[in-house]
Every structure is written in C-alpha cells, then in structure tokens.
C-alpha cells in the first residue's frame, strides 16, 4: 500500500497545522510536545508525520524522505527551494522579517553610501539580498539563535530577525527600523512524490486549500 509522510516542526507550526490536518481528516496519534517519538502515526494507516527541526523541513522534502512538509517562507528562502513544489501559502505562523537596531542608533546615517555596518542574522541569504538591493555596505555575521543579544554586547550594529508581537525587541531595548518582507508558512511537496502519489497527495492539498480560505 502506498503511503505519505509529512514533515513538521514542533511548536507554533505543529499547533497551527492541527486544524488543517483535521480538515483533511488527519488526526495525529501523539503530541510531539510530550512524546519523544520522531515518527508519529495518525488515524490513517497511509499517513504519518515526521517531527524535524524547522530549518530541516525543506531538506527532508527535497530528498523525498518526506513527501510533504510545512515550512516558513524565511526557511524556504534560505534553503533555496531546490526540488520543492510550493503549491500553497497556509497563512499560519505569521510574522515579518525585519531590520532592528538598538534604540537611538542612527540607521538612516548607517544606510548612506560609504557607510558600513555589521549585521548579525540567521538569515544570511535574505539579508544579503535586501542590503544589496539598497546598495548598503554590510558585514554579515551568521548566528544560529538569539540575534537580539548581538547589538547589546557589541557583536553587531543591527540584526535581521523575525518579529511577531515585537515583545522580544522591546524587552531588549531594540527597535524595528525596516520591514524586509512578511512571512508565513507554506506547504511544500516533493516534485516526484506529487507525480507518483497524486491520488494520495491531491486530496490533502485540496483540503488544506479549502481550510485556508
């Protein structure tokens, strides 16, 4: 019997995906927040979930280890999208990719031709494209977490990070000075899976699309 595997990350994406799964008649057998299982069955014998790090979702789908996945636009832009079909914006886990600086930092002056600033980020690809389009000279420093700390301890002048409520920036005396792009999560599909397992995958795509509207 043919079956499909869906790659998801724990946390906000899993939570916000549950109603979409329900619309497709899929109910996970375990909660990844409390279970240590990395492969989670569902009420359907032909559908299983694999729980992976958010940034790893596109890789699992690209190589066909998962047929489908759900990943943020931020993650997909850094990955590059090779081998992925991206049929649907699910409009979940919404936030925005921003430039933020310590309160009082003169970002306008730092944006002028000839100026040079240091920017810490996990989103090297998106940051590079943004500053290049503005003609800004920027030294990018790759971090893997808590970008907000970098300007507070002199590692960088500015950060490029995701913001949703703005609470983390406020708590650390930072302010948003530029929105780079709005972010939401998308359904991604392995291109070969879509051809070979269309009878299983298409109804899931249709149910998700119906639930998003």
Q: Are 192 and 66 in contact (CB under 8 A)?
A: no
Which residue in the shown chain puts its C-beta closest to ligand PRT?
A: 72
Q: Which residues have CB under 8 Å from 54's CB, separation 6+?
A: 9, 11, 13, 71, 72, 75
Q: Which of residues 40-99 bind ligand PRT (CB under 6 A)?
A: 53-55, 72, 74-75, 93, 95
Piece of the chain touching ligand PRT by CB under 6 A; list 9-17, 83-91, 134-142, 189-197: 9-17
CA distance 34 to 12: 14
Q: Which residues have CB under 8 Å from 161's CB, separation 6+?
A: 97, 98, 100, 121, 122, 123, 147, 148
CA distances to 54, 143, 193 from 186, in Å: 12, 24, 17
- Minimal distance, residue 170 CB to ligand PRT, in Å: 8
Member of 166, 172, 175, 212 binding ligand PRT (CB under 6 A): 166
- Minimal distance, residue 176 CB to ligand PRT, in Å: 9
- Minimal distance, residue 36 CB to ligand PRT, in Å: 16
- Minimal distance, residue 14 CB to ligand PRT, in Å: 8
Give, for 177, the enclosing helix (H) or strand (E): strand 174-183
Q: Which residues have CB under 8 Å from 34's CB, separation 6+?
A: none
Piece of the chain touching ligand PRT by CB under 6 A; list 4-12, 42-50, 174-182, 190-198: 4-12
* Residue 2 or 165 with smaller CB distance to ligand PRT: 165
* Residue 170 or 195 with smaller CB distance to ligand PRT: 170
* Residue 10 or 44 with smaller CB distance to ligand PRT: 10
Quote the strand ranges of the chain, DSSP E. 4-8, 39-41, 47-51, 68-72, 84-89, 95-102, 116-121, 137-142, 158-163, 174-183, 185-190
Member of 9, 17, 121, 126 binding ligand PRT (CB under 6 A): 9
Q: Which of residues 93-112 bind ligand PRT (CB under 6 A)?
A: 93, 95
Residue 12 makes contact with ligand PRT by CB under 6 A: yes
Interface residue list for ligand PRT (CB under 6 A): 9, 11-13, 53-55, 72, 74-75, 93, 95, 161-168, 183, 185
């Amino acid at each position: 019997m043919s079956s499909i595997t869906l790659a998801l990350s724990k946390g906000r994406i899993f939570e916000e995906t549950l109603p979409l799964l329900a619309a497709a008649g899929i109910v996970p057998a375990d909660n990844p927040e409390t279970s240590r299982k990395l492969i989670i069955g569902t009420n359907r014998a032909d559908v299983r979930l694999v729980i992976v790090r958010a940034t790893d979702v596109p890789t699992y789908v690209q190589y066909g280890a998962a047929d489908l996945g759900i990943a943020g636009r931020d993650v997909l832009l850094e990955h590059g999208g090779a081998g992925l079909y991206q049929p649907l914006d699910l409009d979940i886990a919404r936030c925005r990719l921003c430039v933020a600086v310590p309160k009082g930092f003169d970002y306008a002056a730092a944006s002028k031709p000839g100026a040079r600033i240091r920017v810490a980020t996990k989103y090297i690809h998106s940051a590079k494209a943004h500053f290049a389009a503005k003609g800004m000279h920027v030294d990018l420093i790759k971090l893997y977490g808590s970008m907000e700390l970098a300007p507070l301890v002199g590692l960088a002048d500015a950060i490029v990070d995701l913001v949703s409520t703005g609470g983390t920036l406020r708590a650390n005396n930072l302010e948003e000075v530029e929105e780079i792009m709005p972010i939401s999560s998308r359904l991604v599909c392995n291109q070969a899976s879509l051809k070979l397992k269309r009878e299983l995958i298409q109804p899931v795509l249709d149910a998700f699309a119906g639930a998003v509207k």
